[in-house]
Homo-oligomer: A and B are copies of this chain.
Amino acid sequence: MEPFSWSSGVSNSDFEIRNDGYLGNSSIRCGLVLDSLKGELVEAPAKLERKGVSAERTIEALKNHSEAEKRRRARINSHFDTLRNLTPGAKKMDKASLLAEVISHLKDLKRKTAETSEDCAIPKDFDEVKVEPEDEMEGRPYSIRVSLSCDYKPGLLSDLRQALDALQLIIMRAEIATLGCRMKNVFVITACNEDKVHARSIYQALRSVLDKFAVSEQFIGATLSNKKRRASVFIP
């Protein structure tokens, strides 16, 4: 039993015809390819024999084509290499995994930059206290990032600092951004001792400081704070 047959398209006469000095593109091959749908070897679609094209020109074109394709592959692969070099730990990684890694890296960086610019750039219009774990602080584990937006008030910062001191926390980093009368404050803190830092108590301590200042404002009067509030609107 024969699974396929040579007889149909690849007869001797076929070869003789194709050997007369004029070649179609695919007549270099014998014309048998695997048809993966049918699962058998079939005759390749017959090409027109171009009567006006010489074999030399066809070979020349074919050579140019394959060389151009080679250059294209080289170009792409050099970019792959570059990516491998500037992606940490992605050396000797196959193309698919490398691309996946690059994608996640890209998303990561995008997220991080968005976060940092949100972090420090512009105080929010509304008051906010945020307490979240900070994973990437070298050395100290269990450090915590606190960010809060509020109106600027004299004495508020030192009160905040005292509140954190009372909880026996070390301030690793402090950033303050102001815009108009608004203020944004970012702390990175760890515990003095090796105890775990309790986000909830930090939040409550800071919140109560802010509340204290908010209450004091109610007695001062609304006209001043209105003016201040308006000041925060006029700059991007």
- Whether a CB of chain B sits under 8 angstroms from the CB of A63 is yes
- Whether a CB of chain B sits under 8 angstroms from the CB of A105 is yes
Number of copies: 2
Nearest CB to that of A41 among chain B residues? B28
Taking CB atoms, residues of chain B closer than 8 Å to A195 are none
Contact of A157 with B116 at beta-carbon distance under 8 Å, contacts A12-B12, A34-B62 already known: no
Task: Find A231's partner among B6, B79, B113, B155 (CB 8 Å cutoff).
Answer: B155
In the complex, chain A residues 178-209 whose Cβ is within 8 Å of any chain B Cβ: 178-181, 183
Q: How large is the interface on A (under 10, 10 to 19, 20 to 34, 35 or more residues)?
A: 35 or more
Task: Find A236's partner among B34, B41, B83, B139 (CB 8 Å cutoff).
Answer: B139
Contact in complex: B32, A6 (CB < 8 Å): no
Min CB gap A12→B, angstroms: 6
Nearest CB to that of A116 among chain B residues? B116
In the complex, chain A residues 146-193 whose Cβ is within 8 Å of any chain B Cβ: 152, 154-155, 157-158, 170, 172-181, 183
Taking CB atoms, residues of chain B closer than 8 Å to A41 are 28, 59
